[in-house]
Amino acid sequence: MPGPVLPGPGADARVLLGPGDDGAVLGVAGGRVVASTDVLVDGGHFRRDYSSGYDVGRKAAAQNLADIAAMGGRATALLVGLAAPDELAVSWVERLTDGLRDECAHVGASVVGGDVVRSPTLVIAVTALGELTERGPVTRSGARPGDLVGVVGRLGHAAAGLRLLRAGERAGELVDAHRRPEPPYERGPQLAVLGAHAMIDVSDGLLADVGHLATASGVGVDLDRAALRTLAAAGVTDEEMLAGGDDHALVAALPAGTAWPEWLTLVGRVGTALGVLVDGAEVAGAGGHEHFTGGSAATD
């Protein structure tokens, strides 16, 4: 089957050489590149009866662009690998590339290259590249006891949307949230400038990802359920709020005394006792996505 028509460099001066050669060439401010990659498998990370090619393109780009933001960086480019079965319609692939392009437009990035191969299973692999601000990178490992924990973005929407899709619903705000996440891209670099000690995006579930941050930093985090509820829409269950992934909210640990912006919700504090608590207690059965042992509330 023919390869997807990837968008060219356009007016982005950072793309010095776009698709068409063995590699793309990018100009990088400050000489530092942050990179991330994700793989989406049909039937595991998306379903074609739930999402259009355009939806999948938006989602595939979003989860990678969010990783760049979570490092305090600004995304510049995506590379896309597509393994496709013979029966996949070219029109579906064209809509996939439209979705990739349009999601990139939210951050001023470009799709600069990729590869297409034949496969019995539809697989999409995306690599994102970005520039670091002068304050980046913001890693998972810098949280300190006494830090305040803030979240910007939505919690549990994508997981609730998947539940509704499984029940037969095909429209609505939560269903759209599952198909096309809306990460708060611009807030990542802004949190870096604010002096965030640590940051992570919520892809595997809030408790799981805060757990990753706590483990990497050697600290504990106590979250406030009532504060978290303000980031979850009506119809989102507590389990979806705590364990549902794919919304790509940003969680950051900032020093006490930070000038707290109105767009950042204070949801907890960092302490010395290891682990993640909600209102001072452990939460059973809400561990989020396990990549090799089963699906999450937001993956089918």
pLDDT digit string, tens, across residues 27-70:
777 778 889 999 999 999 999 999 999 999 999 999 999 999 99
Cα 285 to chain center, whole Å?
23
The CA distance from 117 to 95, in Å, is 18
Q: Tell me: do 79 and 193 sit in the same domain.
A: no
Looking at residue 274, which CATH number applies to its domain? 3.90.650.10
Query: What was the pLDDT predicted at 14?
Result: 76
141-155, 178-192, 283-297: least confident range: 283-297
pLDDT digit string, tens, across residues 114-129:
999 999 999 999 999 9
Q: Whole domain around residue 56: which residue ranges?
A: 15-132
Please provide the average confidence, as pLDDT, over all residues in the chain.
Answer: 89
The band of 83, judged by pLDDT with boundaries at 50, 70 and 90, is very high
Bigger pLDDT: 81 vs 7: 81
The backbone torsions φ and ψ at residue 196, rounded to the nearest 5 degrees and listed phi first, read -55, 130
Task: Give residue 205's region: left, alpha or beta (phi > 0; psi -120 to 50).
Answer: left
Q: Tell me: do 94 and 125 sit in the same domain.
A: yes
Query: What was the pLDDT predicted at 32?
Result: 82
Mean pLDDT, residues 235-259: 96
Whether 105 has a pLDDT exceeding 50, the answer reads yes
Residue whose pair of structure tokens reads 């006494």 in the numeric block: 146
Q: Please return the burial class of 94, using the count of CB atoms within 10 Å of its CB with bins 0-12, 13-18 and 19+.
A: middle
Q: Tell me: do 157 and 266 sit in the same domain.
A: yes
Query: What was the pLDDT predicted at 22?
Result: 58
Query: What was the pLDDT predicted at 123?
Result: 98
Q: For the chain, what is the domain count? A: 2
Query: What was the pLDDT predicted at 17?
Result: 74
In the β-sheet with 110-118, what is the strand arrangement from edge to edge? 33-41, 123-132, 73-84, 110-118
The CA distance from 257 to 292, in Å, is 40
Q: Please return the burial class of 283, using the count of CB atoms within 10 Å of its CB with bins 0-12, 13-18 and 19+.
A: middle
Q: Tell me: do 77 and 190 sit in the same domain.
A: no
Query: What was the pLDDT predicted at 285?
Result: 66
The CA distance from 218 to 183, in Å, is 27
Confidence (pTM):
0.88
Q: Coil, strand or helix: which one is 138? A: coil
Q: Tell me: do 163 and 205 sit in the same domain.
A: yes
Q: Tell me: do 274 and 154 sit in the same domain.
A: yes
Q: What letter represents residue 37's amino acid?
A: T
Query: What was the pLDDT predicted at 256?
Result: 96
Joined together, the tokens standing for residue 164 give 């509704």
